[in-house]
Amino acid sequence: MLNPYVPGAGRRPSALVGRDVELDRWDVALARVERGRTVQPVVLYGLRRVGKTVLLAEFRQRARDRDWLVAHVEAAAGKTLRAALAEALHAPLTDLARPSAGRRLMRALKTAASFRASVDQAGSWSFGLDLTESTGGGADTGELETDLSKLVRDLAEAASEEQIGLAILIDEAQDLTSEELTALCSIAHQAGQDDWRCTFALAGLPSLPRVLAEAKSYSERLFDYAQIGPLASDVARQAIVEPARAEDVAWVPEAVDHVVGAAAGYPYFLQQFGQEAWNEAVDGAIDLADARVGTARGWAALDNGFFRARWDRATRSEQQYLRALAVDGDAGGSSSEVARRLGRPASSFGPARANLIAKGLIYAPEHGNVAFTVPGMAEFIRRQPEPEAASGTAPDP
């Protein structure tokens, strides 16, 4: 019941360590916006399970702690960016709505209502106020960049009137459509030029900087990019030791070394192995034997859930492609080399490669190359037995 380790998607660890630089920059950005100064929007990029979502959630909480207007959405969660932002803004705008609202806030509420109407006319917002005489609205032209620009501008002006700011946070941003990425880049650029009281933070896979550059050529100068990777060894030790210490449980040094080495600095694995080792210990201390059993059980749990769920999403032909790619390890390799191993032209694997990218199993770090999105996936695939060919059947195309 007291186990302090929390493996899982986006769950904040008991000890959020190793991200001080990014958190300090975010705090400074919030303070600058409150003082009417512009900041660069933030882009967090890295492999899955390195803590990007946790960090973005911490950004959200710190903005909320300052009473900011915050919209936090996930791309490609079955909704367009327009619909996701409309839903995310309803609760915080409702909290701000009041009869004594100032002119800018009333205008922003009317604009938000029109933006919502562009998604669902039947689900119109009134916020319990008479907005008839207010200016605003017009964020329902159907052109995303036009509508979103008006919404962000009016919300930022309302935030200024309330002495707060506006933060728009988007997870899995690499899955935004080309139109959505272009609109975001343009609006973030305009916000910086015109001193709007707002900021943006995007999080996504290592391909996100390239995707943004393809959307707008100036994006490499527009955003403040932060690569989120594995924790350094000394920081990983803190992630293991500090949660247990808070519960008056000690790790012997050899046990810590074993878990840190097995996890290779990846926060998700540290939490998984820490949880299992804690459950194995019985005498108020976690020793090397506990760490070894915990790590073994942790790998089994990852194989049965974390890795297996991804592997099973691939079709048989896609799994053949992944097996050929796994030869190169997690960092992957060239598409042409994978095709050579499979004895077919690279062009014939275009649909399979596109499907695997869409399923979030691989990504394209650069043109002509592919890599796994999660650490340890290549090794998992190498452990999987080759399927037996069914008698009298043709091979999967």
Output the six-digit token pair for 353.
Answer: 């490669």
Q: What is the pTM of this model?
A: 0.90
Which residue ranges form the domains of the chain, and what is each CATH number? 20-227 (3.40.50.300), 233-310 (1.10.8), 314-383 (1.10.10.10)
Q: Which residues contact 357 (CB under 8 A, 6 or more apart)?
A: 363, 364, 370
Q: How far apart are CA 381 and CA 312, in angstroms?
A: 11
Q: Which residues contact 381 (CB under 8 A, 6 or more apart)?
A: 311, 322, 323, 326
Instruction: Say what the pLDDT of residue 37 is.
Output: 92
Output the six-digit token pair for 133.
Answer: 């005489």
Dihedral angle over CA of 93, 97, 103, 108, nearest 10: 20
Instruction: Say what the pLDDT of residue 122 is.
Output: 67
Instruction: Say what the pLDDT of residue 397 is.
Output: 43
* Dihedral sign computed on CA atoms, order 122, 126, 127, 128: negative
Helix (H) or strand (E) holding 379: helix 377-383
Q: Provide the total of helices (H) and of strands (E) in the chain, helices listed first.
A: 17, 10
3-state DSSP assignment of residue 282: coil
Specify burial of residue 277 (Cβ count, 10 A radius: 0-12, 13-18, 19+): buried
Instruction: Say what the pLDDT of residue 100 is.
Output: 86
Instruction: Say what the pLDDT of residue 185 is.
Output: 97
Sites in the chain below the pLDDT cut of 50 = 390-395, 397
**Residue 92 to residues 129, 130, 146: CA-CA distances in angstroms?**
15, 18, 23
Q: Give which of 127, 151, 125, 153 is closest to 137, Cα–Cα.
A: 151
Supply φ then ψ for residue 43, to 5 degrees: -125, 120
Q: How far apart are CA 152 and CA 166, in angstroms?
A: 8
DSSP conformational letter for 387: P
